[in-house]
Structure formats: structure tokens, C-alpha cells
Amino acid sequence: MKIVLKAPAKINLFLEITAKRPDGYHNLETVMQTISLCDELSVEDLGAADTRIILECSSKELPVDEGNIVYRAAQALKKFYNINRGARIFLKKEIPTGAGLGGGSSDAAAAIKGLAGIWNIKAEKNDLEKIAAELGADVPFFLTGGTALCEGKGEIVTPLPPIARMPVILANPGFGVATPSVYKKVTFPLTKPRKIHKITRLICRGSFNGQNASDYCFNRLEEFVFPDYPQIAEIKSVLTELGCASLMSGSGATVFGILGSESQSETIKSKLQEYHWKTWAVVPAG
């Protein structure tokens, strides 16, 4: 049996840090949205005669053992349900690593869903969420995707109504940013803490769009990333000047711009060609 799944990237429409936790992590409030840029996982059952997890990847830069979250996801699922079967997983990467787009977390969630399918696991949603949360804070969100309010470390997920299918431009400077190094720079008290209820209320009303996004989108981590990575700040500045509601996603390095129309998307992509950035034209996806 073989299953092929898409593992979508995400952007953070809002991200505020609310406190530092005793375990060293941070509590946050964020609105995450999956988008049409995806990795792809092929998951194949090896049967009872071969209990190995065999991970292959299109990117030779990524490990294919315990150093890869997809491999750890497979191990965690096997252990939790006492599965005595193996699987071959092929990961086709399209989402850049260290980009603030959640590629690894999405891959792990897709692996959990795919393996549960090929191993015929009658899984309770709460159990899969528990496994996902132990792998990474963003993994539970990707079990369902779409639009969601995420709290705690990010693992407390409340689905929101889907936002409109508006055009979005992603721009990446060609390097990654290590998330732990960014959070180490977060200091309290924060300047002018932002409340998330304004954007969640707008989304629930179905009124969030490219015209008002700049008034409601926010990412606290920009102030801790931009001083060390001026290239990322430059991307935001350029997208803003081109008329986008622009924001860094997660802890960087990707910046996204929300546009008002498809025609604007083509114009902006054309203007961005003079820069040496990797760009994608995407849309929100559920």
C-alpha cells in the first residue's frame, strides 16, 4: 500500500510573544495559515517482514535518520501504537529550510497521517495531537492546516474560518534563520504588546483581505531578527514600497506580501526579478 500526501507551508499572519515559560520556551499567540507551496511525501508499507523506517529525500542536504523530523515522527508513531511493520518514505522538498514556513513540521504531520493510513491505525485525534506536540510546537497545527489560532508554544490549536483566496508573494533571501537563536534574543518587557483579538475577529467576520491586512498583521520577532539580518528587513521594505501588506513569517527568513489582485501579483513578481531572491506566487490553502 502506498499513499502520497502534500505537506503545505504556512505563514504567520500574526505573532506575539506573551511570556517566557519555565521550560525555556515562550508562550505565544499566532494566527497561522497554510499556503499552496508544498512538499510531497510518498509513504509505502514494507510489511511485517521488514520493520525498518527507510527515509529518502530529494534534498541531499537533509539527513535521512534521527536527524530528520520525518524519521522521528515515524519512530514516535511506531512506538505509541506498538507497530511491528516498516515503511519507506520519500520526501520531495520544495519548501526551503530555516525559512519560517514550517516545512519540517508540515512534513512530520504528513508522515503521521500517511503512516497511520498505511498501517491501518484507528487513531484518536487527541493521540495524534499528543505525538505531534512532542515532535515540535507547530506540528499539531499541520495535522489540520487551514487558518487557525495557535497558543501555548503553538501546540494549542483553535481552527478559524478560512480566509479569502487572495494572492500572496513569498520572497526568501537564500539563507535560513535558526529559530532557537531568535527566541534567545527575546527580551521583556515587550514594547507595546499587541492583542490578537482584532485580527481573529476580522477573520471570523470574513472581512480579512489584502486591503486591510497591513493594519492587522504583526510579527513580534521582526524586531529581534532585522538588526542581525538586514537582508530580510530589505525584502519587507521593498514589498511594502510595491504596495503589499508585508510581514516576516515565523522567525524568518521568508517575507510574504499580501496583494489586492492577481494583476498586482504579476507586476510585483516582474519587479522582484532585479533582486537575487527566491520568490513564489501562492494563495492561502486549506
Q: Do residues 200 and 15 make contact, with C-beta atoms less than 8 angstroms apart?
A: no
pLDDT at 286: 85
Name which of 140, 107, 160, 103 is nearest 280 in CA terms.
103
* CA pseudo-torsion sign 189, 194, 195, 196: negative
Together in a domain, 125 and 32: yes
Together in a domain, 101 and 6: yes
DSSP class of residue 253 equals S
Together in a domain, 151 and 213: no
Together in a domain, 152 and 173: no
Together in a domain, 140 and 193: no
Range(s) of the domain holding residue 147: 2-159
Q: Do residues 99 and 253 make contact, with C-beta atoms less than 8 angstroms apart?
A: yes
Among the candidates 105, 135, 159, a domain finishes at 159
Which three-class secondary structure state does DSSP give residue 75?
helix
Together in a domain, 26 and 133: yes
Please give the full DSSP string across 126-177, using - where no structure is assigned.
Answer: HHHHHHHHHH-TTHHHHTT-SEEEEETTTTEEEE-PPPP---EEEEE-SS--
Measure the CA–CA gap between 30 and 105, rounded to whole angstroms: 16
| Residue written as grid cell 514550517 | 102
Together in a domain, 103 and 172: no
Together in a domain, 150 and 193: no
Measure the CA–CA gap between 258 and 240, rounded to whole angstroms: 10
Q: Annotated catalytic sites, by residue?
A: 10, 138
Together in a domain, 15 and 35: yes
Chain centroid, CA 92 distance in Å: 16
Cα dihedral 29→162→170→142 (10° resolution) = 60
CATH code, 189: 3.30.70.890
Q: For each of the chain's 286 residues, which pLDDT tens digit applies?
A: 899 999 999 999 999 999 999 988 899 999 999 999 999 999 999 988 999 999 999 999 999 999 999 999 999 999 999 999 999 999 999 999 999 999 999 999 999 999 999 999 999 999 999 999 999 999 999 999 999 999 999 999 999 999 999 999 999 999 999 999 999 999 999 999 999 999 999 999 999 998 899 999 999 999 999 999 999 999 999 999 999 999 999 999 999 999 987 778 888 888 888 999 999 999 999 8
Q: Which residues pair with 156 in a beta bridge?
A: 151
Question: Within 10 Å of residue 247's Cβ, how many Cβ atoms?
Answer: 23
Together in a domain, 100 and 127: yes
- Our count of domains for the chain comes to 2
Q: Which residues pair with 259 in a beta bridge?
A: none
* CA pseudo-torsion sign 27, 158, 240, 252: positive
Together in a domain, 151 and 175: no
Q: What is the 3-state secondary structure (H, E, C) of 180-213?
A: HHHHCCCCCCCCCCCCCHHHHHHHHCCCCCCCCH
CATH code, 46: 3.30.230.10
Name which of 17, 46, 13 is nearest 29 in CA terms.
17
Among the candidates 159, 181, 211, a domain finishes at 159
Q: Do residues 94 and 106 make contact, with C-beta atoms less than 8 angstroms apart?
A: no
pTM for the model: 0.96
Question: Within 10 Å of residue 73's Cβ, how many Cβ atoms?
Answer: 29
Measure the CA–CA gap between 117 and 73, rounded to whole angstroms: 14
| Residue written as grid cell 512506538 | 79
Together in a domain, 198 and 273: yes
Among the candidates 120, 139, 159, a domain finishes at 159
